[in-house]
C-alpha cells in the first residue's frame, strides 16, 4: 500500500485504472470474462494479461479459470481490497483536481 | 496533444499533475518562483527541473529568469494551453472516476 496521501502507482497507470474502474461497476461477487474485459477496453490479450498480473499481485483483482480447452473461461473480479484502494485513490485524486478548479479564472 | 478521450501522459505523471494543479490556482499572469514551487511540492531542484522541462516542451508552462547571480529568480507560470490541457485531462478523469462510483455497492 502506498502512503496515505499518495496516488497508488499500481492504480495510476491508465490501463490499470480503466480495468479497475470497469470491474468496480460490477456488483460484489460478479465477474467479467477476460475476453469481455479485453473487448470493453480495446486491449490486446498480452497487454491485458500484463496489467492484470500487476493488479493481482497487489491483491486488487482475482482471476479464476473455469473449464479447459476451447470451452475454458477466465473470470476477472475486483477484490474488497481493490475496491478500498480504488476508493482511496479516487478520493486523493478528486481532492487534487478540486484544488485546481478553485483558481482565479474559473472559481466555484 | 493526445487523442480527445485519452489521459494526457504529459499531465498524468503525479509530479507534473501536482505542478500544473498548483500553477492553475494562480490568477492569469501570476507566477510562482521556482524555489517556492519546490517548497510547496517537496521536490528536489533536479526533480522539479526535469518535470518543468517536460511541461515547458509541451507548451503547458513558461519559465523566465529575472536578474542574475544570487539575486536571480526563476518564475514559473501556467500557459493558456496548459490550462486548457489540464481542464481536458480533468474532465476525462472525472468521467472515468464517476463511472466507477456508479456501482452496485455504493450507488448515487
Q: What is the CATH number of the domain that holds B37?
A: 1.10.10.10
Cell numbers found for residue A98 = 478540486
Chain-chain contact of B12 with A7 (C-beta, under 8 angstroms) = no
Cβ density class B89-98: b for 16+ within 10 Å, e for less: bbebbeebbe
Q: What is the DSSP string of B66-84?
A: ES-GGG-EEEEEE-HHHHH
pLDDT at A101 over 80: no
Return the half-sphere exposure (C-beta side, CA atoms, 13 A cut-off) of residue B75: 10
Mean pLDDT to the nearest integer, A15-34: 94
Q: How far, in Å, CA of B40 to CA of B22, rounded?
A: 9
- What local confidence, expressed as pLDDT, does residue A71 receive? 84
pLDDT at A67 over 60: yes
Helices (H), B34-79: 34-41, 45-57
- What local confidence, expressed as pLDDT, does residue A105 receive? 45
- What local confidence, expressed as pLDDT, does residue A4 receive? 64
Mean pLDDT to the nearest integer, A43-47: 95
In-domain check, residue A2: no
Which structural domain range is residue A82 located in? 14-91
- Residue B61 DSSP code: E
Say whether residue A20 is in contact with chain B using an 8 A CB cutoff: yes
Chain-chain contact of A96 with B30 (C-beta, under 8 angstroms) = no
Q: What is the pTM of this model?
A: 0.85
Contacts of A87 (CB under 8 A, 6+ apart): none
Residue A45: pLDDT band by 50, 70, 90 thresholds? very high
Say whether residue A7 is in contact with chain B using an 8 A CB cutoff: yes
pLDDT at B108 over 70: no
Say whether residue A104 is in contact with chain B using an 8 A CB cutoff: yes
In-domain check, residue B4: no
* Least confident residue range of A10-19, A52-61, B1-10: B1-10
In-domain check, residue B9: no
Residue B2: pLDDT band by 50, 70, 90 thresholds? low
Q: What is the pLDDT of residues B8-48, one digit of tens each?
A: 999 999 999 999 999 999 998 899 999 999 999 999 999 99
Say whether residue A108 is in contact with chain B using an 8 A CB cutoff: no
Cell numbers found for residue B32 = 510562482
Q: How far, in Å, CA of B8 to CA of B5, rounded?
A: 9
- What local confidence, expressed as pLDDT, does residue A82 receive? 97
Q: What are the distances in angstroms from CA A52 to CA A10, A36, B38, B88?
A: 11, 14, 36, 28
Mean pLDDT across chain A, nearest whole number?
A: 89
- What local confidence, expressed as pLDDT, does residue A1 receive? 58
Q: What are the distances in angstroms from CA A41 to CA A67, B8, B52?
A: 24, 17, 32
* Least confident residue range of A28-32, A71-75, B73-77, B96-100: B96-100
Give the count of domains, chain B: 1
Chain A residues with CB under 8 Å of B18 CB are 96
Mean pLDDT to the nearest integer, B84-106: 81
Partner residue opposite B14 with nearest CB, options A7, A30, A94: A7
Say whether residue A94 is in contact with chain B using an 8 A CB cutoff: yes
pLDDT at A104 over 60: no
In-domain check, residue B107: no
Classify strands B32-33 and A61-66 as parallel, antiparallel or unpaired.
unpaired
* C-alpha distance from A53 to closest chain B C-alpha (Å): 21
Q: What is the pLDDT of residues A11-20, one digit of tens each?
A: 999 999 999 9
In-domain check, residue A100: no
pLDDT at A103 over 90: no
Amino acid at each position: 500500500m502506498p502512503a496515505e496521501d499518495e496516488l497508488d502507482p499500481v492504480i495510476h497507470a491508465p490501463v490499470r485504472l480503466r480495468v479497475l474502474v470497469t470491474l468496480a461497476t460490477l456488483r460484489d461477487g460478479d465477474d467479467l470474462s477476460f475476453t469481455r474485459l479485453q473487448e470493453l477496453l480495446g486491449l490486446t490479450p498480452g497487454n491485458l494479461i500484463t496489467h492484470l498480473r500487476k493488479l493481482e499481485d497487489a491483491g486488487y483483482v482475482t482471476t479464476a479459470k473455469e473449464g479447459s480447452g476451447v470451452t475454458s473461461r477466465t473470470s476477472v473480479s475486483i477484490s474488497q481490497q481493490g475496491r478500498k484502494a480504488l476508493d482511496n485513490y479516487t478520493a486523493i485524486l478528486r481532492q487534487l483536481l478540486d484544488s485546481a478548479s478553485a483558481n482565479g479564472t474559473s472559481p466555484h
